Amino acid sequence: MKIQKETVVPDPGQSFKLFCPSLRNYFYWHYHPEFELVYVKATTGIRHVGQHISGFMDSDLILIGANIPHLNFDYGVQTAYEQIVVQFREDLLGDLLKEAPEMEAINTLFRKANLAISFHGSTKAIVAEKLNLMLLREAEHFQQLLNLFQVFQILATSKEYTELNEQDTSVKLFLNDKIRMGSVYKYIHANYNSSPDVNEVAASVFLSTAAFCRYFKKQTNMTFTDFVNQYRITQAKTLLLQGKSVSEVCYDVGYDSLSYFNKIFNKLTGENPSSFRKKYIG
């Protein structure tokens, strides 16, 4: 459950890997030299890329640069979901990327990918459609490649995006990390609905509480308390969408105060739980 290096092997006759992984019950904190484009359609989920941690709703489209540690986007997803992943080397376009002026926008896109980029709006919808089209053309490798180039250009010219990290978070920041982030996630998943104790989780990874808090903030750019709240609210969204009442969900995810639950939910999502529930299920 410590950070792993993934070996990416494209299928025969292809220069990139296109597949639909399903790893919801497996904590896969990993990195690879290849770039990765991920589209996941799920009711709600968690994205953890580099130092960035947040939740997503309905779907997510993210471009991740080389050697950026990230968690599988379907980790812990409790509902039905779809996921498409494309992995490719930066030199897929060879000298063309650096020398052809027509590639200037794509070149800029690839540089920004070191921060990890989340796309939204019509960009996400159009790219999702093209990725699904690529899956339907499994035998037409050349057409798949042309479609991928079109996807690059759509992303490169889009203004509907958010950079997730403030700095390059490539693996050198994490390689010397002897702590297993998986142990932290496992503890929080088991205890988020009770009373997660930072002293317990620190002891489980053989650090003093103060040292663990410094480590956790460095690795995630969040405090342990902020991370627990993020995790709880992500779980709360799933429960609300399953039809549970706000008060039921409040206590189910570990809050003792309905007003405090409303406050945290609003802070992290921009709306209160009742409005969220009404918007999606009436």
Residue 72 falls inside a structural domain? yes
Long-range own/partner contacts, residues 145-148 (CB < 8 A, 24 or more apart)? 145/14, 145/15, 145/16, 148/16, 148/86, 148/88
Task: Spell out the SS3 assignment of 213-227.
Answer: HHHHHHHHCCCHHHH
What is the C-alpha separation between 250 and 235, in angstroms, rounded?
10
Residue 168 falls inside a structural domain? no
What is the C-alpha separation between 218 and 187, in angstroms, rounded?
19
Residue 172 falls inside a structural domain? no
- Domain of residue 267: give its range: 178-281
Q: Half-sphere exposure of residue 238, counting CA atoms within 13 Å on the CB side?
A: 19
Give the count of domains, the chain. 2
Residue 178: the pLDDT is 60
**pTM (two decimals):** 0.86
**Are residues 13 and 73 both part of a single domain?**
yes
- Average pLDDT over the chain, rounded to whole? 90
Residue 181: the pLDDT is 78
Residue 208 falls inside a structural domain? yes
**Domain final residue pick, 163, 193, 217:** 163
pLDDT band for 102, please (50, 70, 90 cuts).
Answer: confident
- pLDDT, one tens digit per residue, over 152-210 is 999 999 999 999 999 888 877 666 666 677 788 889 988 999 989 999 999 988 889 99
Q: What is the CATH number of the domain that holds 230?
A: 1.10.10.60
